Structure 1
Amino acid sequence: MAGDRDTLLSMGFDPARVEWALKATGNRGLQPAMDHILENESKPVPSMDNVSESSTSASAMDVDDEDAEALESLGLAATNAAEAKSIKCSECGKIFKNTALANFHAEKSGHDQFEESTEEIKPLTEEEKKERLAELRAKMDEKRARKAIDDAAEQKANESLRRKAGKDMAKVKEDLQAKEAIKEAQQKKRDKIEEAKARAAVKAQIEADKKARAEKAAREKALREGRPIEDPAASTSTSTAAAPTPAASTSGVAGKDFKETRLQIRMSTGGQPYTTTLPSDSPLSAVAEFLAAQTLTVSVETVTFAQHFPRKTFSSADSSKSLKELGLTPSAVLIATP
């Protein structure tokens, strides 16, 4: 019916769904068509050729009794020829305008006792029609509002899950970057140590080559001049024996009672020197332990110490001797070789 179609279109329904609903309900009125639209709003609209008109009894299952009466009074529901002024349900006392509405009530309530009535149902005024139509629209608005609230809650929950997943991924990424940075720093430190060792080895090799060339030149000169060739090792031992012992050379110092010894330790590989003050009775191994605690390149078992002035290299046998016995009090400069 044109009136039902215009009413549904004015309520904002899609024209295709309106046509589908009117045809599927056999143009039996506004309420059946509206129920059809609401129940099938999530389904796609089929081709109109495949839509068959449903029976009056099928439509009756979707229409509320009171709404059906209101729609009938609005002139929007299909009516059959009334056999009396009204039909009354003997079980609940409701009065219906025609047999179609009585059938709706019977199928929904299960009541089967009806009788003719002389009571006449007065048609609704225009004001009452507007009120009923407003009620129907209010019901639709309420249903849409509930659906909007549910959709908003679902969207909020999904957004919360998405944000949590994003934070978890960001934390994992930060942890990976931090681990990579630590590994890179450790690798750079190891590379730096290896590079320092390589430079020290090259420097030592250069010194050894220089010494070898000097010894060779000395031998060749001695041969040219007819002098006997001196053994460098023997001359070194002789000079060492001739040199005064540290204890003897520093007897004046050792004679004084210095309780502490200030040391400056320089690495043979270069870098910043280390300074410390130890009790004069501390063994030389305490210096090795101090240096090992300051850098990763020094091992207590392998590190050796030497002095430039007077020139002396301390052996492993000296590690148990005190700083005072080694003549390092009250202060000294040591060269450490890892």
Structure 2
Amino acid sequence: MHIAIAGRHKKNLNQIRNEMVGLNNFMGRVSVLIANAFVTDELDKITSKSRVLLNFAGPYSWFGSQVVESCVRNMCHYVDLSLELPWVVKMIAKHNPRAVKNKTRVVNACGFHSVMSDLGILSAVSHVKNMMREEPQECIGLIHHAKSGVSGQTGPECMLENFKRDNKQYYEEMKSDPQYYTPPHLTTGRDPPDPANAVYMKDLRTWTSPTLTAPVNSRVVRRSGAVLSYGDKFTYTEMVMNANWMSAKLSSSKLTWSGTGGGSGVKHGERVDPSKAFKKQTFEMMFFAKCSNSLNKRIVCTVKGKGDPIYEVTARIMIEAGILMSKFQESLPMAGKDSYGFHTPATALGFPLRERLKQHAQISFSVEEMDVDG
């Protein structure tokens, strides 16, 4: 498998590659390719010779449209980190038929934020359906802790904030429809609106609060649930766990994504050694599925890992997604015509991605049954 890095500035790319050689000699074999995200010919030269393109360059509503178009035209599989679902919906309407015809996979929202939610709920739902022989309902994702970012804000969060500011109408349209991202022929109308305030979850005995990225993650998971047939009673809501009412109230007013606040301690613009800067960072998230018959029981998938979620973990997720789509397509969950076109991480990559993250990124996905108050 041959790997290349691409961008507008050759000098900067060479500098990045040379710096990375000090961490891994393999980087010396990585090619440098030059392309502007707005120049079709330059993009086509890359996508026509590539099997998979991993796009880290957002905001995608600014820089991603022609990259997606070039990938679909040249039958190059595509993966990005986009939380800008209104932009993704536009791309689906414009390019999905051709992507299916050209046998091309397009996977959006494949960063830490959405992948943990998508695979965590996939794991919990699978246990309910296959081990309990029941139907999942009232599924909930709770972020226990996940600190990251420069000065407390992450790259994807910044992109989402920029998109909200520049595309307020489309963002509000997304927020007003809980199943905005669900294929129209699969919508049910069951999912509730996004939580706006602190909520006490009696059966789980915890205070919760909304997060900035939950509206996006929830819609990604709901799309996966519809496409993968999680069941007629399936719904999904995502919140942050808090120690008490006051912290939930404060978290609601700040609307952070981690809930527990705090950044990495890295100042904006500061150069860091990625092998050292975030090694003490950890994250933990819990995904609950209520059983249709065993009403006093919840299935919980606990996701834990080490490393900075946004920089280190997201990079690992994207790399593992690229490896799967490049070398192990036969292992992916969907087959035939349904495997092509636009996908969520769960519908395109599913359990194979989860297993690679467990093996190569030291992320654990543990599923257990727990009793709760009725």
TM > 0.5 fold call: no
Higher normalized helix content (fraction of residues): 1
- Please classify the TM superposition score into its range, dividing by the shorter chain length: under 0.3
Higher RCO (C-alpha 8 Å, min separation 6):
2
Higher normalized strand content (fraction of residues): 2
Normalising by structure 2, we get a TM-score of 0.16
The structure whose Rg is larger is 1
